[in-house]
């Protein structure tokens, strides 16, 4: 799904009127973003919402300078796309799964329903999403929005970035673990390693044991995870490690 149709041209039809004034139209697009969507179609759903946002904010003060993110676009990249990537990687029968993203301050970011119930496969009902990003990531996007090319001449930069992500993971698990969630809530931790395309000259990219190091953090902080039914740490392409209460 995500890999195969990532660059496909999509025709989006919005069956509700819009005014062209983003301040009036954003509630319409937000409602569309919260539309229940099958898991195998959720990536296309996220792309459509981003496209509508880009179109309706173009030329307004709400339009972020690419590739910076703010407003609904921040939610698209911080929650909708991570949910879409998880749906592709996790669900064996995504056509049987209905996902509804929910905006707001409730204790979950999305709900899960199953068209055909199977107790052995339908054990996730809510999704709570977090991404391993920091102020450094925001600064990097700001520099790129100026048309800059960011050059790192240190060979260990990728390793240093991963060490920072491990610290961000610990912080996220401690923060999320202090809250109370509904039963059968899965915590999705999206690492977002592929946000920027990277090239290495002179030597190959550093070898990083992401699966082993992320798993070690989960094992270290297991007592904080009891409020979740599952925890998944994953990128766009693979699930690195999981934890389950069962």
pLDDT of amino acid 149: 58
pLDDT of amino acid 96: 95
**Which tops the pLDDT comparison, 157 or 3?**
157
Q: What is the 3-state secondary structure (H, E, C) of 135-194?
A: HHHHHHHHHHHCCCCCCCCCCCHHHHHHHHHHHHHHHHHHHHHCCCCCCCEEEEEECCCC
| Percentage of the chain lying above the pLDDT 70 cut | 81
- Residue 2: pLDDT band (50, 70, 90) is very low
Contact 231, 187 (CB under 8 A): yes
Q: Could you report the per-residue pLDDT of 83-108, keeping only the tens digit for each?
A: 999 999 999 999 999 999 999 888 89
Q: Could you report the per-residue pLDDT of 200-219, keeping only the tens digit for each?
A: 666 666 788 999 999 999 99
Residue 113: beta bridge partners?
98
Q: Residues 3-7: what's their mean pLDDT?
A: 57
Least trusted range by pLDDT, from 18-32, 119-133, 145-159, 226-240: 145-159
pLDDT above 90 for 172: yes
Tell me the C-alpha distance between 112 and 100, whole Å: 7
Q: What is the 3-state secondary structure (H, E, C) of the chain?
A: CHHHHCCCCCCCCCCCCCCCCHHHHHHHHHHHHCCCEEHHHHHHHHHHHHHHHHHHHCCCCCCCCCCCCCCHHHHHHHHHHHHHHHHHHHCCCHHHEEEEECCCCCCCCEEEEECCCCCCCCCCCEEEEEECCCHHHHHHHHHHHCCCCCCCCCCCHHHHHHHHHHHHHHHHHHHHHCCCCCCCEEEEEECCCCCCCCCCCCCCCCCCCHHHHHHHHHHHCHHHHCCCCEEEEECCCCEEEEEECC
Contact 70, 76 (CB under 8 A): no
pLDDT above 80 for 7: no
Average model confidence (pLDDT) for the chain? Answer: 85
pLDDT of amino acid 1: 42
């Amino acid at each position: 799904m995500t890999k195969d149709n990532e660059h496909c041209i999509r025709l989006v039809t919005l069956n509700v009127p819009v005014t062209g004034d983003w301040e009036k139209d954003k509630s319409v697009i937000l409602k569309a973003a919260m539309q229940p969507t099958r898991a195998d179609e959720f990536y296309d759903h996220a792309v459509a919402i981003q496209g509508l946002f880009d179109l309706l904010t173009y030329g307004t003060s709400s339009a972020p300078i690419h590739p910076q993110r703010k407003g609904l676009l921040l939610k698209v990249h911080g929650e909708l796309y991570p949910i879409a990537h998880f749906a592709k990687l996790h669900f064996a029968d995504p056509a049987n799964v209905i996902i509804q993203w929910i905006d707001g301050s409730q204790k979950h970011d999305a709900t899960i329903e199953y068209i055909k119930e199977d107790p052995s496969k339908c054990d996730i009902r809510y999704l709570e999403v977090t991404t391993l990003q920091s102020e450094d990531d925001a600064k990097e996007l700001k520099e790129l929005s100026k048309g800059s090319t960011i050059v790192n001449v240190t060979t260990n930069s990728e390793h240093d970035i991963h060490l920072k992500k491990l610290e961000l993971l610990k912080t996220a698990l401690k923060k999320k673990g202090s809250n109370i969630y509904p039963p059968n809530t899965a915590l999705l931790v999206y690492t977002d390693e592929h946000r920027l395309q990277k090239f290495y000259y002179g030597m190959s990219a550093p070898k990083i044991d992401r699966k082993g190091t992320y798993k070690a953090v989960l094992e270290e902080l297991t007592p904080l995870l009891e409020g979740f039914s599952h925890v998944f740490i994953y990128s766009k392409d693979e699930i690195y490690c999981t934890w389950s209460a069962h």
